[in-house]
A and B are shown apart, each in its own frame.
Chain A
Amino acid sequence: MDAILKTENLVMTYRQGKVDVHALRGVNLTVGRGEFVAIMGPSGCGKSTMLHILGGLLKPTAGKVLVDGEDMAAMGDAGRTDVRRRKIGFVFQRFNLFPTLSAEGNLKLAEDIHGNGGKGADAETRREVLRMLRLENKMRHKPLELSGGEQQRVAIARAIINRPAIILADEPTGNLDSENSEIVLEMLQKLNRELKQTIVMITHNPEAAAVAARTIEMRDGMIVGER
């Protein structure tokens, strides 16, 4: 398998007051290029911490995080930010769109940060991505003018606009009703199928996990099973 994401003996320990909290206790995970992986587990099992480490938002206490061959655990904040900018797209449970910008504005911002704000950016690509996510008539709408499902689809469009190596989705259906959850999951599946987009998704929902090709179960900071 061509691994695009690999962790080796990943350990994360927080200091909370005078107590050490062991969020991750030696996690070894490999995700192949173009794979759709779901990570499941109860609250507090360390799955969100792992997603933040995989996205370079946190630095692990020990171990390796190889993203497309680059070890983010060995990098400082600036290095991890650079890898995140070039190779990772985030989708959050709470959408995390800029409320003052339109759907297209949110996409443009992501392009600008990625460095495509200049000649690389083109309106046609944005329209194509929004069309793929069935949002072509919502380009000028601001987040508050969109339904939850539409907002999450804009967030997915923002995550893929720069064609990242990996999409990290943190409970992407956690704030949606079943109908919109279905649409969002369908979109993620479509991206994975049609664009060979690598997706790592955290979820509580077994139905959501079912759309992934592989499901990893976590408990107490460790991987305890795989389906």
Chain B
Amino acid sequence: MDSLVASNIRQRPTRTLISVAGVALGVLLVVLNTGLVEGMLNDRIRRERGIGAEIQFGREASMLSPSSSNPVDVRYAGRLRRIQGVKQVSPVGYYVQSGNSGLGIEIVEGVEFDSYAAITGIKIVEGRAFQADDDVLIDEFKATHGKLKVGSEIQVFGKMMKVAGIYSPQVGSRIKLSLGALQRALGAENKCFSILVKVNDPDKQTEVQQRINDELPGNKVILTRELGLDFGREIPGIKGFVRAVLALSIVVSSLVILLAMYTTITERTREIGILKSLGAPKRYIIGVIEKEALAISLIGVVVGLVLAVIAGWALERATTLQLEFHWSWLLRAALIGLGAGALGALYPAVRAANQDAVKALSYE
């Protein structure tokens, strides 16, 4: 290809490589972060929805953003059980710790095994239920990805605990211990995060929800099926986080392209003068530089997407993190990469187009 754009890209491999890396980094940031947010959240939503309880009772905090503060008195369980239409209740406590791989967070649930198993249908497929405060249960996913088995030790509350059993199917968090052990460890006696409520007739869950609201006002009573309908609203700050990542990637990609193109334009001052002497109007010169930036950005987008897929695969293999690449985010990441490239090249392009032709021609 004997065009100015293609030949410039080929003739300046270091500049091209750095620019491609900058755009790829921006794309990687967007795809990986949104992939992680969506993957982790959707994984959690799937496990929460499969919990078997039609209703979850708690405080104003979102049911999808658990914290180690357990604000609900477990004595609500008794009052809930007496409400018409309620079949079974089970209080659940939460403890949030950093992931064992050092990445992300991990939620540890404290449960009363019998009532919890009655609602969720979980079964011990290996080992036994917890008996002591330092016994934990893990699900099959955690066992496989964490290379854990019955008798292995994992860190909870900053100390080593023993895997007493492995359960199936995957519901709720991946690590569970007894609610009593969790309360004692957190110094939160008689407290839990939420109470799972199973109703007699799933078709009448809305009526039961209304009755709970009437009898126990001031609490958060949500239908499990509605969890995650708007994930941006479910977890406070998630939209802000995603926006921050988008802004950061735009800034990184734009700056790299701006610096690369600015340097290139300075190097090519004489060539800009030649273009002007040939009668190239400003829009032509801007077009040449923008086309070059877009071509570089396109390569960067492709590299970024490929790297993101590879990094996602590696992360899923090495950790328990879940990633989901949605086509709309891949498209947005690509558009961000191209847009940032075009934006970054705009100032150098306009500057080049406005250069004095005679001075540019005499540039050494």
Chain A interfacial positions (CB closer than 8 Å to B): 52, 55, 57-58, 78, 81-82, 84-86, 88, 90, 92, 96-102, 104-105, 108-110, 113-114, 158
Least Cβ distance of B68 to chain A in Å? Answer: 61
B279 touches A98 (CB 8 A): no
Q: Does B157 contact A (CB under 8 A)?
A: no
Partner of B11, one of A86, A90, A92, A100: A100
Partner of A113, one of B10, B271, B284: B284
Closest 10 CB pairs of A and B: A85-B279, A100-B7, A105-B2, A84-B279, A57-B357, A100-B11, A90-B277, A96-B274, A113-B280, A113-B278
Residues of chain A lying within 8 A (CB to CB) of residue B278: 84-85, 90, 109-110, 113-114, 158
C-alpha spacing A158/B280, complex, angstroms: 14
C-alpha spacing A42/B18, complex, angstroms: 48
* A78 nearest in chain B by CB position: B281
Take A57-B357, A108-B2 as given contacts and tell me if A100 and B10 are in contact as well, using a CB distance cutoff of 8 Å: yes
Interface of B is mostly: helix
Partner of A81, one of B7, B273, B281, B358: B281
Q: For B11, B275, B279, which residue has the most chain A Cβ atoms within 10 angstroms? A: B279
C-alpha spacing A90/B278, complex, angstroms: 7
Q: Does B160 contact A (CB under 8 A)?
A: no
Q: Does B235 contact A (CB under 8 A)?
A: no
* A111 nearest in chain B by CB position: B278
Take A96-B270, A98-B271 as given contacts and tell me if A86 and B277 are in contact as well, using a CB distance cutoff of 8 Å: no
Take A104-B2, A109-B4 as given contacts and tell me if A85 and B280 are in contact as well, using a CB distance cutoff of 8 Å: yes
16 further interface pairs, Cβ-Cβ under 8 Å (given A100-B11, A105-B3, A113-B280): A52-B358, A57-B276, A57-B361, A58-B358, A81-B276, A81-B279, A84-B277, A85-B281, A92-B277, A96-B361, A98-B4, A105-B7, A109-B4, A109-B278, A113-B275, A114-B278
User: What are 16 inter-chain pairs, A to B, with CB distance below 8 A?
Assistant: A55-B277, A57-B361, A81-B276, A96-B270, A98-B4, A98-B7, A98-B271, A98-B274, A100-B11, A101-B2, A104-B2, A105-B2, A105-B3, A109-B278, A114-B278, A158-B278
Residues of chain B lying within 8 A (CB to CB) of residue A81: 276, 279-282
A-B contact count (CB 8 A): 67
Task: Name B1-21 residues within 8 Å CB distance of A.
Answer: 2-4, 7-8, 10-11
C-alpha spacing A109/B271, complex, angstroms: 12
A113 touches B4 (CB 8 A): no
Least Cβ distance of B154 to chain A in Å? Answer: 60
Residues of chain B lying within 8 A (CB to CB) of residue A108: 2
C-alpha spacing A158/B361, complex, angstroms: 17
Least Cβ distance of A54 to chain B in Å? Answer: 12
* A86 nearest in chain B by CB position: B279
C-alpha spacing A92/B4, complex, angstroms: 20
Residues of chain A lying within 8 A (CB to CB) of residue B279: 81-82, 84-86, 88, 113-114
Residues of chain A lying within 8 A (CB to CB) of residue B358: 52, 57-58
